[in-house]
Structure 1
């Protein structure tokens, strides 16, 4: 069935604004139009649909059930159109003014703020959205196009097909212990000495959970894991409270003065490579090129030393 020419995307935008604000004057202010133009758009949309959407009570418009039903489809139509515009602009090399970056919670103290500040100086008109999550969540969002790029930790032998990587720095993994533990002060801790201890760690999907499992595989035993949690801050608090030991990357040292990070014996060494990842199809995007350049500078400056 052909869509009536009175039904346009602009009118759908006006209609959805009215459904949210429920006031002609406020919609007019929000969209930069006159009240008369808003009213005319809603009326002509009804004409195009050949179906009433509102009932009139004095000067007020009251949405009918049909309006709420149509609003669901209108939202989907606008969202699909916006996504199509974004994709075709990317394919044409026209860069968006908003960059969606994903990263780990553990990088938010030094690494991410420094990169964002440097990127804003390089490209002042760029708006940045930051999403935090696990490796698994962020990789899925990157593949689905919900994120433009991600900065995560990867294991040394890990490879991601179809992605371009820009390494920033390598982070070693340590035993995380409460202050004044029996292992305090050691410079090369043998994990075998902790066979009878309890541990806490992150849920699967985080790179630090991978590092935890890898280190104990090297040690040849399965640790007694008392609890798994979904964020690094809760994990640090559990360690400091004496619930259990853990294995954490060096960058979390600045998050708490109530835990000690103790070096592991080289036999059980586990490392994370903090890396910028982007889709190969977008590696020429000017905004991503600018971020990649700042990531390389960050690595060369050794900014991670304070992490």
Structure 2
């Protein structure tokens, strides 16, 4: 058993696909499959159930995964600690973010971080706030940026509130309300909306605002990404409510303030355990102090 085999197993588990895992690991699928099979033979148990349609962990695989992840993290820490002893931070920094993060100029922060710590490998993953909380909690991400309704408290992680911001109505330029300087929810209630999935944090603040105003609205289209929302609004399929700080980058659409509109709170979350040296350096760049790693 070696660390590379553990990486392959982790990649298959996270992607639910030998093909995508091989692409992530930059290896031929046949070679990755061979290494996983060798590990399964050594362990005396199958780690994955494979069918033509899907790949999923067996009971043995579910038992193996946490220990494999801990072993890989320990190896990363060991390399990072050796580098730190020579005055250099190495290792891996894995971040997550909602697509509409605005409280932090993330590209600028990553540029500054890369200049200070060029030997750290950086991975940035996009996702919903709910997914990001889960991935930070189980160690797949070092830190993540969320956008959630007021009062939302992510569980099982440490967090810092970064900013409050209001939503605006995003309209096609020929929409009848596009010439308004300001609107309220009563004026928008009869419109067709393009929004995120019901029950998601990305949509919750809008639903809560309409409920507080004792109004009902029709979400005609539920989509999974903000890019698709914008394209659908551009084609006149509906209107959207999006954070004002994010919409400053939109072109060719009309963004109208809402007097009693939804409020979004942005959070930074990170592991409740001692962060790695690479993660601690990133948090420090954002003004967050953490104890040094002792692992």
1:131 alignment partner in structure 2: 125
Shift of 1:206: 4.4
Find the aligned partners of 1:178 and 1:191 in 2 and give their Cα distance. 18
SS in 2 for 1:156: coil
Is the 2:178–2:256 contact (alpha carbons within 8 Å) kept by the matching residues of 1?
yes
**Per-residue CA distance 1:147-170 (angstroms, 9 max, x = gap):** 111111122211123322233333
2:38 alignment partner in structure 1: 70
Find the aligned partners of 2:4 and 2:125 in 1 and give their Cα distance. 32
2:56 alignment partner in structure 1: none
Find the aligned partners of 2:219 and 2:133 in 1 and give their Cα distance. 26
Alignment of 1:95-106 (within 5 A): 97-106=91-100
Shift of 1:190: 1.5
2:295 equivalent to 1:295: no
**Per-residue CA distance 1:225-255 (angstroms, 9 max, x = gap):** 1110010000011111111111111233244
Q: Unaligned regions of 5+ residues in structure 2, if any?
A: 10-17, 19-26, 48-60, 82-88, 289-295
Is the 2:147–2:265 contact (alpha carbons within 8 Å) kept by the matching residues of 1?
yes
Shift of 1:199: 1.0
Q: CA RMSD in A?
A: 3.6
Of 139, 148, 157 in structure 1, the residue corresponding to residue 142 of structure 2 is 148
Is the 1:103–1:130 contact (alpha carbons within 8 Å) kept by the matching residues of 2?
yes
2:274 equivalent to 1:282: yes
Q: Number of residues paired by the alignment?
A: 238
What is the TM-score with the length of structure 1 in the denominator?
0.65
Shift of 1:83: 2.0
Is the 2:194–2:240 contact (alpha carbons within 8 Å) kept by the matching residues of 1?
yes
Distance 1:198 1:149, change over 3 A: same
Distance 1:122 1:204, change over 3 A: farther
Find the aligned partners of 1:159 and 1:194 in 2 and give their Cα distance. 29
Q: Between Structure 1 and Structure 2, which shows a larger proportion of helix residues?
A: 1
What is the TM-score with the length of structure 2 in the denominator?
0.68
Alignment of 1:101-120 (within 5 A): 101-107=95-101, 111-120=105-114
Alignment of 1:172-211 (within 5 A): 172-204=166-198, 206-211=200-205
Q: Unaligned regions of 5+ residues in structure 1, if any?
A: 1-7, 21-29, 31-62, 298-307
Distance 1:67 1:114, change over 3 A: closer
SS in 2 for 1:179: coil
Of 248, 253, 262 in structure 2, the residue corresponding to residue 259 of structure 1 is 253
- Which has the greater radius of gyration? 1
Shift of 1:275: 1.9
Find the aligned partners of 2:35 and 2:267 in 1 and give their Cα distance. 48
Find the aligned partners of 1:12 and 1:99 in 2 and give their Cα distance. 21
Distance 1:96 1:278, change over 3 A: farther
